[in-house]
Amino acid sequence: MAGVTRCGCTRSLAVICGAFASIAVTAMLAEVRCLDRGGRVSDSAWSCALPAGAIQSLWEFVSAGNVALIVLLVGVPVYFAVSAVARRWLFAYAT
């Protein structure tokens, strides 16, 4: 590994992957909660049409505590996994 310049590019990739994984799990949780209340999920508007005729944002079905828990349970492990795999892959082929 002599002469190899290390960069922080694996960290930024890992942060992006962790953020998108957290957003995906949060969106799935919000969709499930919308469907549990008898609503219908809109694909294009990120909204839930409830049976009473009201339309709510999908993000209203998820509390801030749930988002924090999802980030801790999904986003952080994805960050570490992607960071480790990317670092190993990047430095294995850098020599």
Model pLDDT for residues 3-30, shown as the tens digit of each residue:
555 666 778 889 999 999 999 999 999 9
User: Closest Cα to residue 79, out of 27, 25, 20, 29?
Assistant: 20
What's this model's pTM, rounded to 2 decimal places?
Answer: 0.81
Q: What share of the chain is helix, strand, coil (3-state, %, to 5)?
A: 65, 10, 25
The mean pLDDT of the chain is 87
C-beta separation of 16 from 60 below 8 A: no
